[in-house]
Amino acid sequence: MERKVRVRFAPSPTGPLHIGGMRTALYNYLFARQQGGDFLLRIEDTDQGRFVPGAEDYIIEALKWCNISPNEGIGFGDGPHAPYRQSARKIMYREYVDKLIESGNAYYAFDTAEELEALRKNAEANKSSFAYNANTRKSLINSITLTTEECEKKLKNGDHFVVRFKIPELGQVMLKDIVRGDVVVEVSSLDDKVLFKSDGMPTYHLANVVDDYLMQITHVIRGEEWLPSAPLHVLLYRSFGWEQVMPQFAHLPLLLKPDGNGKLSKRDGDRLGFPVFPLNWTDPFTGEVSSGYRERGYSPEAFANMIAVLGWHPTGEQELFSMDEMIKQFSLERVHKAGAKFDPEKTKWFNQQYLKKQTDIELAQSLSQYIEKQPKYSCIEESRKELVFLETVCKLMREKVHFVHEIFDMAPYFFFEPQSYDESVISKKWNDDAEKVIQTYLQSLQTETEVKSNRYEELFKATCADLNLKDGQFVQILRVCITGMSGGAALYDTMALLGNDIVIARLKFALNKLS
């Protein structure tokens, strides 16, 4: 019988999600939406020692920002399988561990962490390695080596114990992975992983399998770092007798560092100057702030598009995909096998592409929000904060930027009176002729009212012609006098927007400063 597709994103709230985690969430979401299935968010907080305040809220906020909405789970209205936080499901796991112990697939182990650590160190010193497995469990302290009485006594005593999975001695596990094909592993290479910790909490392996079963998950889409433990998970399903409803696996390629090798980590962002997180994050312990894509001015659509094509691509040469297009075209079969090196440069291009799709007024609204947060906001004249003004600014600047905020950052002359003038242009082009041109132009402007863009141009050309000079040589000078800068928006349009009074004032000021 065809089951309804149900997938989950199951992060651990140990810090902010980075772009790799966001991509995993996205792929789960795309797949669920395309298949008409469910997508749920489950919080895997079985390690109480790694709890980080705020991390869970961060995850929810990041998903919402990116329009990756689970239809079930923490932060999204829960659902029929609540609770969706593993710490709140704690009591359920014990029942399942007991089943495994009863069926002989798991056993109590009483070795302390220190004892095992010593064994590991020892093995390392001998250039070998220690694993709790079929060979070594016979000589360690557990319910296999202990008599039933001894074991019960220890349990009754309240001695600390863990429950370990008993890996079969012989055989192979075959894992069918949608991305990678069949992966075969000898069970003898696996070790007896802890399923149930001495603090009464399950480990990831147990909780993940039990919850996926209970929540009727059909596809496990997760990062490649889980591939090595996937055979264990298969064995777990088998031991529980759940193999018929075992989810299909799809292990996603890793996101790699832009420089060198290795998987992208939280540190790389600060080191290389680009965000690795969707949103800003302040570490609650150190106060350290890591920057996010949202705060850097990326649109969520651009962000989603850019992470989606890092490891997945449909046939053809399309690069830009709306969320709906991605939902339509996504397929796990077309996810790459190899890891993708993250390229921070290309992210800017993606944002630019999405910026181009926005209307002037939409841009003006975003720009307005940005300007309000500027320290010099109060110095800006009121009329230049108005949307109609900003709309024209955006119209003039939109082709020149990757981000809305750059409109403000790159073109301060729309908001402030220039105080200094680009030295490279002045030193090269400011001379007696230039002064004469600006002087004459200023005079003719003073006789005009309501000057339009093409009139500014006409007048400037006429001014130069009257002086027997070529206008082309002096346009740069005019630009610098008006804006202070050597590059920027279409000059005469800029002047028209600013208005004749401002233009005259700026020319006077410049003449004063430069001559």
Partner RNA sequence: GGUCCGUUCGUCUAGGGGUUAGGACGUAUCCCUUUCACGGAUAAGACACGAGUUCGAUUCUCGUACGGACUACCA
**Neighbour tally for 419: CB within 10 Å:** 9
Judge whether 414 and 393 are in contact, CB under 8 Å. Answer: yes
Tokens coding 104: 């002989």
- Asked if 229 touches RNA (CB under 7 A), the answer is yes
Least spacing, CB of residue 384 vs RNA, in Å: 20
| Coil/strand/helix, residue 117 | helix
199 binds RNA (CB under 7 A): yes
Identity of the residue numbered 336 = H
- Closer Cβ to RNA, 6 or 257, answer by number: 257
> Among residue numbers 10 through 69, which ones bind RNA (CB under 7 A)?
10-12, 14, 44, 46-47, 50
Taking the least distance from each CB to RNA, the nearer of 261 and 468 is 261
Name the 3-class secondary structure at 294. coil
Using CB under 7 A, which residues numbered 453 to 472 contact RNA?
A: 457, 472
Q: How far is the CB of 173 from RNA (least distance, A)?
A: 10
In whole angstroms, what is the distance from residue 487 CA to residue 459 CA?
21
Cβ distance to RNA smaller for residue 385 or 485: 485
485-504 residues in contact with RNA (CB under 7 A) are 486-492
Using N-to-C axis directions, what is the helix angle for 90-102 and 204-214, rounded to 10°?
A: 100
Q: Taking a C-beta distance cutoff of 8 angstroms, is the pair 454, 492 a contact? A: yes
For the bound state, the minimum distance from the C-beta of residue 350 to RNA, rounded and expressed in Å, comes to 8
The residue range among 27-35, 186-194, 281-289, 462-470 that interacts with RNA, by the rule CB under 7 A, is: 186-194
Rounded Cα distance between 24 and 12, Å, is 13
Question: Footprint of RNA on residues 347-376 (CB under 7 A)?
Answer: 348-349
Contact positions with RNA (CB under 7 A) in 116-135:
116, 120, 127-129, 131-132
Q: Is 15 in contact with 266 (CB distance < 8 Å)?
A: yes
- Enumerate residues 132-161 that contact RNA by CB under 7 A: 132, 160
* Residue in 99, 266, 429, 436 annotated catalytic: 266
Q: Contact, 173 vs 231, CB < 8 A?
A: yes
Binding mask 312-331 for RNA (x = CB under 7 A): -x-xxx-x------------
The answer for residues whose C-beta is within 8 angstroms of residue 265's C-beta and 6 or more apart is 18, 257, 276
> Taking CB under 7 A as the rule, which mask of x and - marks residues 390-429 in contact with RNA?
---------xxx----------------------------
**Residue 29 vs 460, nearer CB to RNA:** 460
Peptide bond into 83 cis (omega under 30): yes
d(C-alpha 274, C-alpha 123), whole Å: 41
Among 341, 429, 436, 455, binds RNA (CB under 7 A): 341
Would you please indicate which residues are annotated as catalytic (active-site) residues?
266
